[in-house]
Amino acid sequence: MAFFEYNANNEDGRQYLYQDFAAKYVFKTKEKEWKPRQKGIAIGRMYVCNPLASERYYLRLLLTVIPGAQSFKHLQTIASHEYSIFKEACTAHGLLDNDHKWVACFTEAITFATGHSLRFLFATALIYQEISDPLALWNQFCKHLCDDLEHRLNLDHQHRQNIPSDIPNLHLDYGLFLISEH
């Protein structure tokens, strides 16, 4: 990407964010490189990116807050730690909410809510993309989310022989299935 190349080879553009770069530099199509703007003004424009686009969205988000990006690796490195995906870098940069509010919510809810209610809460949070690390939250609260299912599966197994009994943690798999049905 020419933007990265320019910043890697020249220090004069490193103070600008990606969206502000076009106001100070012009892209020479024939040479496929950026040059300092000599005259006139320009307004740079970034393509809109939906959060459902996942990593592309997080890449765009990082470009809007990290001046002078020199590579994708540069965008993924926060405080000398290189993250493997852009979403993790966004979280480390403080651009995304962490799941502390959800941990607090589920910690409180497990004292009075049924497994069914907890699964519905979890599914709702997933649908509206409110959880930044669903797997970590699942691992922390899966026993509570599925606390009613082991008994339910045992009752079903007594009546039907097609439910496998040799699968470890079958109730957790069943809980994930029920969450996916919401």
Same domain, yes or no: 73 and 30: yes
pLDDT at 181: 80
Same domain, yes or no: 28 and 85: yes
Which residue, 27, 62, 92, sits at the end of a domain?
Answer: 92
Same domain, yes or no: 6 and 85: yes
Query: How many independent structural domains does the chain possess?
Result: 2
DSSP letter (8 states) at residue 14: T
Same domain, yes or no: 126 and 45: no
Please list the rounded mean pLDDT of every run of 10 residues in the chain (182 residues). 91 92 90 89 77 85 93 94 93 82 87 87 82 88 87 62 65 81 76
Same domain, yes or no: 163 and 119: yes
Q: Which domain holds residue 8?
A: 2-92
Which of 180, 119, 108 has its CA nearest to residue 148? 119
pLDDT at 83: 95
pTM: 0.60
Hey, what are 58's tokens? 């997080």
The Cα–Cα gap between 131 and 94 comes to: 15
